[in-house]
Amino acid sequence: MATQQGRHFLHIPGPSPIPDRVLRAMDMPIIDHRSAEFARLGKTVLEGCKAVFKTAQPVVIYPSSGTGAWEAAIVNTLSSGDTVLMAETGHFATLWRQIAARFGINVDFIPGDWRRGADPAAIEARLVADKARAIKAVMVVHNETSTGSTSRIAEIRKAIDAAGHPALFMVDTISSLASVDYRHDEWQVDVTVSGSQKGLMLPPGLSFNAISEKAMAASKTNKLPRSYWDWQEMVKINANGFFPYTPATNLLYGLREALAMLQEEGLDTVFSRHQRLAAATRAAVKAWGLEVLCENPAEQSPVLTAVMMPPSHSADRYRKITLEKYNISLGSGLGKVADKVFRIGHLGECNELMLLGALSGVEMGLAAAGVPHRSGGVMAAMAALEARDDGNQASVAAVA
CA atoms of 24 and 254, how far apart (whole Å): 8
Rounded Cα gap, residues 63 and 245, in angstroms? 10
- Exposed/middle/buried for residue 103 (C-beta within 10 Å: 0-12, 13-18, 19+): middle
Query: Where is 328: in which H helix or E strand?
Result: strand 328-332
Which residues touch 9 (CB under 8 Å, ≥6 apart)? 326, 327, 328, 329, 357, 358, 361
Long-range contacts of 6-10 (CB under 8 A, 24+ apart): 6/327, 8/327, 8/328, 8/329, 9/326, 9/327, 9/328, 9/329, 9/357, 9/358, 9/361, 10/328, 10/329, 10/345
343 labeled part of a ligand binding site? yes
Please, which residues bridge with residue 194 across strands? Answer: 208
d(CA 179, CA 269): 10
Residue 264, Cβ density class (10 Å: 0-12 exposed, 13-18 middle, ≥19 buried)? exposed
- Count of Cβ atoms closer than 10 Å to residue 7 Cβ: 10
Residue 12 and residue 132: Cα distance in Å, rounded? 44
Cross-strand partners of 10: 329
Return the closest-CA partner of residue 385 out of 280, 274, 271, 281.
280
Q: What is the DSSP letter of 15?
A: S
Between helices 267-288 and 377-399, what is the axis angle to 10°?
150
Query: Could you tell me if residue 145 is left (phi over 0), alpha (psi between -120 and 50 degrees) or otherwise beta?
Result: alpha
DSSP state of 75: H
| CB within 8 Å of 313: residues ≥ 6 apart | 369, 371, 372
Binding-site residues for substrate sit at: 343
Binding-site residues sit at: 343
